[in-house]
């Protein structure tokens, strides 16, 4: 599995702790240092079954500075994916990518159900 996180993010820290406590082996990637590629984001988006908006870190400074709340509805899916690929801090985290699934954001119950 691949765990994509930002080490300073408290939600990512909680998710990492939960993964450790549950013995979940994974590779880890800092989203700021090694942002997801356009191809990765497109694949994860399709695999997740979630709306693309769920991949945006709506509470982040970059999201707010770019006024994406107002701009996203008018953007195409391709434009949104390119935007996400341009700045790792725009991407919701953590992301856990496994064989046939993608979990976006840490929701303990969902992660437990998927990994049990």
% of the chain beyond a pLDDT of 90: 99
Answer whether residue 116 shows pLDDT above 90.
no
Mean pLDDT of 3-7: 97
Domain boundaries in the chain? 2-115
- CATH number of 2-115, picked from 3.30.2310.20, 3.40.30.10, 3.20.20.60, 3.50.50.60: 3.40.30.10
- Quote the CA–CA distance of 20 and 16 in Å, as a whole number: 6
Going by C-beta distance under 8 Å and a sequence separation of 6 or more, which residues neighbour residue 46?
none
What's the CA gap between 61 and 77, in Å, rounded?
22
pLDDT tier at 42, thresholds 50, 70, 90: very high
């Amino acid at each position: 599995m691949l765990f994509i996180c930002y080490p300073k993010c408290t939600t990512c820290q909680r998710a990492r702790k939960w993964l450790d406590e549950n013995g979940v082996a994974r590779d880890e990637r800092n989203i700021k240092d090694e942002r997801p590629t356009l191809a990765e984001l497109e694949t994860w988006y399709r695999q997740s079954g979630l709306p693309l908006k769920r991949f945006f870190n709506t509470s982040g400074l970059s999201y707010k500075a770019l006024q994406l709340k107002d701009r996203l509805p008018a953007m195409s899916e391709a434009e949104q994916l390119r935007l996400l690929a341009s700045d790792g801090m725009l991407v919701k985290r953590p992301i856990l990518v496994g064989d046939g699934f993608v979990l976006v954001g840490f929701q303990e119950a969902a992660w437990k159900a998927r990994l049990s």
